[in-house]
Structures are given as C-alpha cells and as structure tokens.
Chain A
Amino acid sequence: MDDAAALVRARGLTKTYDGPPPYTAVAGINFEVRRGEAFGFLGPNGAGKSTTMRMIGCVSPRSGGELEILGRDAATARKAIKARIGSVPQDDTLDTELTVEENILIYGRYFGLPRALIRERTDRLLEFARLTDKRASRVQELSGGMRRRLTIARSLVNEPDLVLLDEPTTAFRALTDAGAILLVLVTFGAVTPGDAPRALAGAVLTALAFAAPLSAYAVTAERPAQLTAVFRFVIMPLYMFSGTFFPTGQLPGWLQKVVWFSPLWHGTELCRGTGRAAIHLTVLLALTAAGYLAARRAYTRRLTA
C-alpha cells in the first residue's frame, strides 16, 4: 500500500501548552496508520497518548509538525475529517438522561444525518452492541459494560473510515461542602452574640432534619432533575411560607396548620427564640432520626443491588 492510502500520517507532530508552567505533551512524533490496520499507542500516564488522540480527532489543534488524516490536513479540513471519524472517548460521555435509542439518534444528528437514516442504522448498531432489548431503557439503568458498548455503537453511527478508542482511566467526582454554607448562614444572620448558640443549634438541627431525608431521596432518585424538582416544589414553598418573611398568622387558618408540618418553621422558631423550644426540638430530632433510618436503608439497598 502506498503513502496516499494512509489514514493517518504524522511527521514531527508536536503539542505544547503555554502553561503556566509551559510544557510539551507530544514532542515531534512520526507514525502512519493504514487502512485495515489496528494501531495502538502504549505508554505510562502523561506520555501524551490522549493528547495525540485528540489531535487526530481534530479536537485539539497541533502546535507543530504535520498531521494528515484521510489525506487531508487536520488543521484546515477539521469538519470534513470529523465527519469521517468515530470516536470512543476515555470516559463515557453518553447522555445519561436519554434512552439508549435516543443517544444514538442525537449523536447521528450531530453529524447532520437525517432521522430516518439514523433509525435504520440504529437497529443494526443495537444488535451489534447486544442492546436491542435495552433500546428504550435510560442510560442510567445500564451497567458499566453496557454503557461502554453503547458508546462504541454510537461512534459507528456515521459509518466512519477511522475509529479512535481511548482507554478509560479516570472518573470525575464532584465535591460539595455543606459546612461552608452553614458558616456563611451563621455569619450573616443578624443574631446577637447571646442568641448565637441557640440560633446555631437551631440551624444545625434544621440542616440535619433536611439533610437526612433528602440524602435518602438522592440515592433513590434516578435523574438529577428530580432533585431540582424537589428543591423547587418542596424546599422553596417551605422557604417562602414558614414564617420566613412574614408572620404565619397572616396565612389563612388551614395553611397555618399545614405550616406546622414544615421542619423549616420549627427551625425558624428555634433560631428566633419564639414558640416552645421543646416541641420544635422534638419535631426536628424525630425528623432527623426518621430521615437517617430511611437514608441508611436506601444506601444499603443501593450498594448491595
């Protein structure tokens, strides 16, 4: 096979980052991948494997050297090259809120393919990935292996000439710090020093009374949007009407009775130092305990499933 048939041709391919600190991720490499060939990059972490893949995928521009893919320059024919490539990234980037079928559909749409054509290809791709019976399932319900297979199936929707596979190594983890928020609340609360300990206790108890049942719900919830909905439909109304902004006495009688079930109202009363502290305390503690038990059950079930 001659040079013209090379799918990928790199000469002195370089990638440098300005930093700070500036560093060279790929330092002048040469390689050639021909049609029908399975070509692999091996190397330790940080060797520049992913960077090279990203340059081939026309996602990251090269800093120097030559890079030709499917006979065209990677810098100038980006869109045309990307249309002929199938890419399986290091981490699964599936749309977890969509179904298996929808994931393939929208991905095909990114290539500008007509819906009818995508649907036609979907059957074959699902069969190939052994996901036909999971077609209407949401990605969240899939096992890790199934997700991986779907990612690969999805990458073939444009019937590519070149498939790029990047290994899975990392997982992103979001960190939250509830403690900081609590500190801000206490700092900005217009509370006299003498009242501070009781207000702090009220705030901590309120936080606990909410945190326990909410975390139980969070483990069982299937979509992030459900949590947003709980916030808007449950937490916000509680926030608005639990005597936060105006006395509950201003509410109609039946609503005043409903407010009695609002943990936030009990917390607010505790923090303000109004009402009967013993009752509010008992209600909040009971809620916390019930929430804790529910959370423990939810976690156990989730982890052993």
Chain B
Amino acid sequence: MTAAVLIERNLMIYKHTWYVLLAEIFEPILYLLSIGVGIGVLVGTVTDVPGGDPVRYAAYVAPALLATAAMNGAMNETTYLMFGKLKADRTYESMLATPLTERDVALGEIGWAVLRGTLVSLAFLAVITALGLVRSPWALLVVPGAALIAFAFATAGVVVVTLLRDWPDLQYVQLVMLPMFLFATTFYPLSVYPRPVQLVVQALPLYQAIELLRNPALGILTPKIAVAALYLATMGAVCLTIAVRRLARTLSL
C-alpha cells in the first residue's frame, strides 16, 4: 500500500500540531456542556425516544454530537485542508512528482481521515462515559460507527474538493453542513417535524449517521442501525469511485 505514506506524512505533521486533534474533541464537548447540560436544564428528560426509555437530554444529544464530530473532522480534512494542500501548498504536486499516483493521494487522505475520525470518537466516547451519559455496553458500536461515518463523509469531501474553484466556494460547503447539523435531529427527535419534512430529514446523511450512533449508545437495538450502516457504506463506496476518478483528473491536468 503506497498510499499509506500519506498517513505517515499526516502523523509526522500532527506530531507538531497534536493540539488540533485535541481541539476536535473539545468542540463536541463544548456543545455537550452548553446545549446538552445548559439547555438540558430547561428541557429536562426526553420522553420521545422511539424504542427506548426516556433519557436525560445530555445523553440524548451526546451521540449526535459525536456523529457530527466524526462528520466535521472527516469533511474538514478532505475539503478545507485538502483544498489548501491542492491550491496553496501544492503538496500533491510534489507528491505526484514522485512515484505516488493520484489514486494513492485519494486513498491515503481518506484513510487518514477515517483514522483521525476513529481516534476522536474513542476520546469523545471516553469523555461521555466518564460523565455517566452511557449506559449500554452496545455503546462500543459507536467506534466502528464513527469510522464508517468518517469514511462516508471523507469520500464525499474529496468529491466536493474537486468541484471547488476557489476559496470562497468553501462557503457553499458551510451552507450545506451547518443547516444539516442544526436540523438532522441533532438536538430534538424527528417527531417534531410534519411528515413531509421528516422524509427530507431522513434522507440526510447526517440523520443516518446520528441514527447509527444514537441507537446503540442508548442501548436500542433496531433495524434502523443496519439501514443507516448500509446507507453510509453505499454513500462511501459511490463517492470513493467518483472521488478517485475526479481527483485523478483534477491533479493531472
């Protein structure tokens, strides 16, 4: 696997800037304290948990924040950071002058994004366990789940990065990511929406990502987990095919 050298490069860089990874788990923790605990005082208990017992608001929000962290980490790595390496630092230009291929670049960066997402999810899981927000041992499923989420969004991110023309275009990515974060049942159950809106929300990848993590974290074993896993695996596989092809074209012009 020649692509593994990209992971080696990222590890070398993060050896100097490890605090960036620390910061990545810091953000969901902030949301957890502010919204989960702070607003949680106003909300109380969430009774509307399909297939499960009522839970503390913080315990309800925590897995969704983890899904969001895995998504943001992966997307950040393959959109913002990758665009920087593509346009400003021209990192890939120097890589392609060596025996590395465009395919190695795509696979290596996606591999690193998945590894990073998994590390961050492990750390966040430790934090929410320490806070007593995890009750079921099924919560361990959250780690491979987060890796799958990172894979789906990292590959999508590479597809997106090949479509960006210049820095301002990154605003379009924010235009999609932020509303998705706010509305994909992160902070309240799907039942608050009228039926037609529910269908739209259920089609969102972040909704599926949240389903994939929230159910096992709350100890609810439902076919929805399998559906979500299938959705994200398909999304990742399709995006991977497109990503490798498009990146090869972008880099070799």
Q: Which 3 A-B pairs have the closest CB atoms?
A: A232-B23, A87-B97, A225-B17
Q: Which parts of A110-141 form the interface with B (CB within 8 Å)?
A: 110-112, 138
Dominant SS at the B interface? helix
B23: contacting residue among A60, A78, A177, A233, CB under 8 A: A233
- CB-based contact B26/A236 at 8 Å: yes
B9: contacting residue among A80, A106, A111, CB under 8 A: A106
Give B99 Cβ to nearest chain A Cβ, in Å. 5
**A223 part of interface (Cβ distance < 8 Å):** yes
A89: contacting residue among B9, B16, B17, B94, CB under 8 A: B94
**Please, which residues of chain B bring their CB within 8 A of the CB of A17?**
253
- CB-based contact A236/B38 at 8 Å: no
- CB-based contact A174/B167 at 8 Å: yes
- CB-based contact B17/A97 at 8 Å: yes
- CB-based contact B99/A93 at 8 Å: no
Once A110-B100, A228-B20 are accepted as A-B contacts, the answer to whether A240 and B30 lie under 8 Å apart by CB is yes
**A229 part of interface (Cβ distance < 8 Å):** yes
Q: List 6 A-B contacts (CB under 8 A).
A: A85-B97, A89-B94, A95-B9, A98-B16, A107-B98, A241-B34
Interface residues on B, range: 35 or more
Give B220 Cβ to nearest chain A Cβ, in Å. 28
B87: contacting residue among A80, A94, A102, A172, CB under 8 A: A172
**A3 part of interface (Cβ distance < 8 Å):** no
Complex CA–CA separation, A57 to B95 (angstroms): 12
**A168 part of interface (Cβ distance < 8 Å):** no
Binding site for B on A (CB under 8 A): 17, 57, 59-61, 78-80, 82-83, 85, 87, 89, 91, 93-98, 102, 105-107, 109-112, 138, 155, 158, 172, 174-177, 223, 225, 228-229, 231-233, 236-237, 240-241, 244-246, 250-251
**Please, which residues of chain A bring their CB within 8 A of the CB of B19?**
225, 229
A82: contacting residue among B9, B97, B253, CB under 8 A: B97
Complex CA–CA separation, A31 to B31 (angstroms): 63
- CB-based contact B13/A98 at 8 Å: yes
How many residue pairs link A and B with beta carbons under 8 A? The number is: 119
Complex CA–CA separation, A240 to B253 (angstroms): 44
A96: contacting residue among B33, B89, B96, B100, CB under 8 A: B89
Give B14 Cβ to nearest chain A Cβ, in Å. 9
Q: Which parts of B95-139 form the interface with A (CB within 8 Å)?
A: 95-101
Give B139 Cβ to nearest chain A Cβ, in Å. 25
Once A106-B12, A223-B16, A250-B41 are accepted as A-B contacts, the answer to whether A175 and B167 lie under 8 Å apart by CB is yes
Beta-carbon contacts of B55-95 to A below 8 Å, as 1s and 0s? 00000000000000000000000000000000111110111
**Please, which residues of chain B bring their CB within 8 A of the CB of A107?**
94, 98
**Please, which residues of chain B bring their CB within 8 A of the CB of A245?**
34-35, 38-39
B26: contacting residue among A83, A110, A177, A232, CB under 8 A: A232
**Please, which residues of chain B bring their CB within 8 A of the CB of A223?**
16-17
Complex CA–CA separation, A83 to B2 (angstroms): 13
Give B179 Cβ to nearest chain A Cβ, in Å. 11
Give A89 Cβ to nearest chain B Cβ, in Å. 6
Give B80 Cβ to nearest chain A Cβ, in Å. 10
Once A228-B20, A229-B19 are accepted as A-B contacts, the answer to whether A95 and B252 lie under 8 Å apart by CB is no
**Please, which residues of chain A bring their CB within 8 A of the CB of B5?**
106, 109-110, 112
Complex CA–CA separation, A91 to B253 (angstroms): 17
Complex CA–CA separation, A240 to B36 (angstroms): 11
**B27 part of interface (Cβ distance < 8 Å):** yes
**B168 part of interface (Cβ distance < 8 Å):** yes
- CB-based contact B27/A59 at 8 Å: no
**B8 part of interface (Cβ distance < 8 Å):** yes
Give B252 Cβ to nearest chain A Cβ, in Å. 6
Once A60-B252, A60-B253, A93-B89 are accepted as A-B contacts, the answer to whether A240 and B31 lie under 8 Å apart by CB is yes
